[in-house]
Chains A and B, each alone.
Chain A
């Protein structure tokens, strides 16, 4: 530690050069932080369905092929299944197709039993929702997005379901209450949720009565999830509607993977960034040592050992990278809210920034090592004579 002033002084020997190098490294770590965070978000997507005790059952061959709501009776009888509920894809939007609304017709009793204690909703609003056929319970984030208030009548356009009464795709609901999601890691994924009564939907649709797209199950013991999944699928084996049951998180993961190998793209970009950076910082360090050869020789003359000189140069490189990495990662952390706006429904975690520290140390060692070795091997007589 007593050498810190010496290292600090040599680092700022040429101010402009150090500042420019520092800024390039800062930029690289800003990108590193941002891309790692996005990668982490895609590698650990939140399902919008809380908990390891949740399973999803879909049609084995395609989620777009329907199952029948009555199958819930059979699924419920499977040992280990605590509750099951059924959901139909509504494909809704509000006014314009870009205003996507994750509208779900749900069976009130079973839905809120599968998702027990996951929502914050006042008892009064819950009771009012149960008593209102055309009622809807809306996520607070969605209420805010469209400026809806409790008591509003809102029309949602379904891209799939026509109404029996007039063949229209526009369905109107009364917002009876709003709810919040307890688990903060799921809040993003559920931010567009809009719940309404399955009974109203099923009676109102002009075709496909009883058809649902997936079942959500809560199991008593999450460690039994795969055994229970197999039991559910066995029920429907060799029927026209074979099923595929899996933990909710696996289901989401498979869906996210459909977008492609995003991790590969991000890592390729980071590879290019750091390759360029190695050259840049390495060149700076090399130059800085080259200019200081007589000084280093003086240090050696004063009795600094080879190891100590090596350590000094490495420490300088480490200091440069550490300062830059800290600034860059701090900036990327500050940018998290901006990324969140662009990546709705994806949960970002600062955990992704941890590898940044490792990258900084690695970078410092790689770029610092050649000049440090050179400094270590300096022959005092030659160096003092400035024979490079």
Chain B
């Protein structure tokens, strides 16, 4: 049985070059489906990664209750000083809480690809910035100085938007801000932002309060103690979240949309590719009619014939799938794009073709190949031997 199977498969593969036109239809059709599927899902994966990589479990973000995002939130100076005394916060060598009071606003900066203005986050940060966010690293230029209108730009923002190179000026209200450096931050969402001194930003947009406070806990386990202390304080009305939870919530909606749209388009394409595969495999079976009939006449079973057709379809599909996934990886992996995120500001992210996505693409390819090969294979197995021999 296996001997027969290998013999038939060997024959069908040897004759494959003669049916190159029809076979390439399967390969190209499936490569198209997989390339689209993997590229679109890579967009969703990249966006999710950027936001999921933001924050650490021992870091907390405090917003005014019911505000959802920093841009809507408002904390007074009194609020922040109460928060800084809450239990569980890490302390520096002088005994001061490792807490950054932040003020978020958006500024219009033109996007490189469309040339139209986009909302870019300008985040005013406290003096404890580098202790609260040790992953932040100035990679060119220098850190901004407090009390002067200087800012540093995330590498993502500098790449996606115009006029954020070192030495450029960003206009906000009636003053110019100078870009003095660029920074990386572990590839997270802050790389899409501009950072400056919180009080200078506050005076510039005439706001005395803050948007949020970001603090480092002594350990992730301190979270509930810290949260309870703040939420039970009658002087405060705040929402306390672990940073990863806050940012994950912002990626949920868009990632979902991208995945639904991408999968729907890919399913429709897959149906089209399946028809193409059916067509090609039927014509392959027809072309090999004489060969199959002869094999059956000299005693080969129906099953090896059936399997050989299925395996041919599967193999072609696999090649298509691998080509499609490779194309997606080649063209789009690491491709940097930006979109309006959940917090009304641009999020710069890179399309990420993960191994899981490649595997997903190849699985899709195999399913299309199997479905496209099944009916032609059944026809091949049922081919009436005598008629087929006579027709030739």
- Is A299 in the interface zone, CB < 8 Å from B? no
A283 to B275, CA, bound (A): 13
Residues of A within 8 A of B118 (CB): 257-258
Closest A residue to B379 by beta carbon equals A16
Closest A residue to B261 by beta carbon equals A342
- Is A131 in the interface zone, CB < 8 Å from B? no
In the complex, the answer to whether A276 meets B116 with C-beta atoms within 8 Å is no
Cross-chain contact of A31 among B22, B39, B269, B279 (Cβ < 8 A): B269
In the complex, the answer to whether A240 meets B282 with C-beta atoms within 8 Å is no
Q: A27-B271, A279-B28 are in contact. Are A160 and B276 (CB under 8 A)?
A: no
- Is A65 in the interface zone, CB < 8 Å from B? yes
- Which of B74, B111, B275: most chain A CB closer than 10 A? B275
Q: A21-B279, A287-B22 are in contact. Are A62 and B119 (CB under 8 A)?
A: yes
Which A240-271 residues sit within 8 Å CB-CB of chain B?
240-242, 253-254, 257-261, 265, 268-269
| Of B48-56, B133-141, B168-176, B307-315, the one touching chain A | B168-176
Which A4-41 residues sit within 8 Å CB-CB of chain B?
16-17, 20-21, 23-24, 27-28, 30-31, 35
- Is A307 in the interface zone, CB < 8 Å from B? no
Q: A17-B283, A272-B32 are in contact. Are A23 and B275 (CB under 8 A)?
A: yes
Residues of A within 8 A of B72 (CB): 91, 159-160
In the complex, the answer to whether B66 meets A159 with C-beta atoms within 8 Å is yes
* Least distance between A168 CB and chain B CB atoms (Å): 9
Cross-chain contact of B265 among A17, A91, A242, A269 (Cβ < 8 A): A269
- Is A223 in the interface zone, CB < 8 Å from B? no
| Of B89-97, B295-303, B338-346, the one touching chain A | B338-346
In the complex, the answer to whether B171 meets A61 with C-beta atoms within 8 Å is yes
In the complex, the answer to whether B279 meets A169 with C-beta atoms within 8 Å is no
- Is B35 in the interface zone, CB < 8 Å from A? yes
Which A155-174 residues sit within 8 Å CB-CB of chain B?
157, 159-160, 162, 167, 169
A240 to B172, CA, bound (A): 9
- Is A74 in the interface zone, CB < 8 Å from B? no
A-contact bits for B265-285, CB 8 A (1 contact / 0 none): 100110111011011101100
Cross-chain contact of B279 among A167, A261, A284 (Cβ < 8 A): A284
- Is B82 in the interface zone, CB < 8 Å from A? no
Closest B residue to A276 by beta carbon equals B32
A21 to B206, CA, bound (A): 66
In the complex, the answer to whether B69 meets A258 with C-beta atoms within 8 Å is no
In the complex, the answer to whether B206 meets A280 with C-beta atoms within 8 Å is no
Cross-chain contact of B32 among A20, A30, A275 (Cβ < 8 A): A275
In the complex, the answer to whether A27 meets B272 with C-beta atoms within 8 Å is yes
Residues of A within 8 A of B22 (CB): 283, 287
A63 to B205, CA, bound (A): 12
Q: A61-B107, A91-B72, A240-B206 are in contact. Are A276 and B276 (CB under 8 A)?
A: yes
Closest B residue to A21 by beta carbon equals B279
- Is B220 in the interface zone, CB < 8 Å from A? no
Cross-chain contact of B282 among A16, A28, A62 (Cβ < 8 A): A16
A20 to B22, CA, bound (A): 13
Residues of A within 8 A of B107 (CB): 61-62
In the complex, the answer to whether B69 meets A254 with C-beta atoms within 8 Å is no
With an 8 Å Cβ cutoff, the count of chain A residues facing the other chain is 52
Residues of A within 8 A of B28 (CB): 275-276, 279-280
Q: A65-B205, A272-B36 are in contact. Are A20 and B279 (CB under 8 A)?
A: yes
Which B178-207 residues sit within 8 Å CB-CB of chain A?
205-206
- Is A286 in the interface zone, CB < 8 Å from B? yes
Closest A residue to B64 by beta carbon equals A162
Closest A residue to B23 by beta carbon equals A283
In the complex, the answer to whether A28 meets B69 with C-beta atoms within 8 Å is no
- Is B25 in the interface zone, CB < 8 Å from A? yes
Closest A residue to B204 by beta carbon equals A240
A157 to B65, CA, bound (A): 11
Residues of B within 8 A of A241 (CB): 173
- Is B68 in the interface zone, CB < 8 Å from A? yes
Known A160-B72, A240-B174, A258-B118; 16 more pairs at CB < 8 Å = A23-B275, A61-B171, A62-B108, A160-B74, A207-B74, A240-B206, A258-B116, A260-B338, A272-B32, A273-B36, A276-B31, A276-B272, A276-B273, A279-B24, A280-B25, A283-B280
List 29 interface pairs A-B (beta carbons < 8 Å), by A numbering.
Answer: A16-B282, A20-B278, A24-B29, A31-B265, A61-B108, A62-B105, A65-B105, A159-B66, A159-B68, A169-B67, A238-B174, A241-B173, A242-B173, A254-B116, A258-B111, A258-B118, A258-B119, A258-B346, A260-B113, A265-B43, A272-B35, A272-B269, A276-B31, A276-B272, A276-B276, A279-B25, A280-B29, A283-B280, A287-B283
| B residues lining the A interface (CB < 8 Å) | 21-22, 24-25, 28-29, 31-33, 35-36, 39-40, 43, 64-69, 71-72, 74, 105-108, 111, 113-114, 116-119, 171-174, 205-206, 237, 265, 268-269, 271-273, 275-276, 278-280, 282-283, 337-340, 344, 346
| A residues lining the B interface (CB < 8 Å) | 16-17, 20-21, 23-24, 27-28, 30-31, 35, 60-65, 91, 97, 157, 159-160, 162, 167, 169, 207, 238-242, 253-254, 257-261, 265, 268-269, 272-273, 275-277, 279-280, 283-284, 286-287
